Amino acid sequence: MVSARVAGLGAALPPQFEQRRLWDEVFDGHFGGSRVAARMFDTAGVARRHSSTPPYELAVAAGWSTEERMRRYAERAPVLGLRAVRRALAAAGTDPDEIGLLAVATCTGYGTPGTDIELAGSLPLRADARRLLVGHMGCHAAIPALGAVADYVAAHGRPAALVCVELTSLHVQPGTRDIDQAVVHALFSDAAAAIVLRPGDEGPGLRVVDVAARTDTARRGHMTWRVTDLGFRMGLSPEVPEALGEHVGPLVKDLLARHGLDRSEVAAWAVHPGGPRVLDAVAAGLDLAPAALDPSRRVLAEHGNCSSATVLLVLDEILRAGPPGGPVVMLAFGPGLTLYAALLDA
């Protein structure tokens, strides 16, 4: 079977705001001056993040209906996604009419015709191009979507693209004293990231070797993403890092063993930065050196947690530094409680 290789990555980011400015102008009042919420913002590992919803809108967004939020998503998401996929196509030296499959992953907005249709028309794609929407999976969606795109490329010998577009800022919730909501509002950010895969057994670009998953249904209530009349509301248990730390070692060990590899042979780790405690738990669970997750920490600091788009931003951060010189493991986590991993290699 033909291999699927990473030919190009691209990102599109809304305006960037300092974390301190967002606290001072929006969330200090939103959380009623809560010292606990202030501490969550100070310790989130986020220095700056992106928001398609400017501060003056964030201050009132908690009162928007879900319909109003979806209207804004329909206006803003396709524009951001188009910029990201065009950059990925340019990096891959690929024309839109070569694309046989376009996958769109999102958990922050829906409508039909949706973002996938808008991108198909704006690029434009061929009329016979396939489309796949990966919806409401959460932060880990990029990896199962990448697996589906890679399978298509390998089976059909045609290039394919994945676009992750998330506008988490549209889901500001009413003010509360709940600590989990302070954590959510301190971390999450907006972004679009895209990746183009091309067929080829040899040549530049990392090959998508395998994808693996591990789900702990007994802890499915630890991370939730509920549709409410006032947008989508996230539930986040403080036990999530401990649970991820418990499962990440077996997940990665099994994935690597299938290909005769050991953790010591992994050249780079593209780990979704769900937050500082999540990264610490992953590092401990995999017995990694302190610097191994520096790319993830840099992405968290400069961009925040952009849900499904984030792990592609981390992979891009790694590849911009040059060829990793060995296997790369991607890791992302979401509701379920679900862990996904992908193995990439030259």
Catalytic residue among 107, 139, 164, 306: 139
* DSSP letter string, 75-123: HHHHHHHHHHHHHHHHHHT--GGG-SEEEEEESS---SS-HHHHHHHHT
CB 3 within 8 A of CB 200: yes
**Rounded alpha-carbon distances, angstroms, from residue 63 to 52, 56, 60:** 17, 13, 6
Give the C-alpha separation, 168 to 184, whole Å: 10
* DSSP letter string, 222-256: GEEEEEETTEEEEEE-TTHHHHHHHHHHHHHHHHH
- Widest distance between CA atoms in the chain: 59
Q: Any catalytic annotation for residue 107?
A: no
Q: Are strands 231-236 and 223-228 parallel, antiparallel or unpaired?
A: antiparallel
**CA 215 from centroid of its chain's CA atoms:** 18
Q: What is the dihedral of CA 37, 38, 43, 45, to 10 degrees?
A: 90
Give the C-alpha separation, 109 to 144, whole Å: 19
Give the C-alpha separation, 299 to 137, whole Å: 21
Alpha helices by DSSP H, listed for 160-309, are 179-187, 240-257, 276-286, 294-303
Instruction: Name the nearest CA neighbour of 206 among 248, 165, 267, 164.
Output: 267
Amino acid letter for position 286 = L
What amino acid positions are annotated as catalytic residues?
139
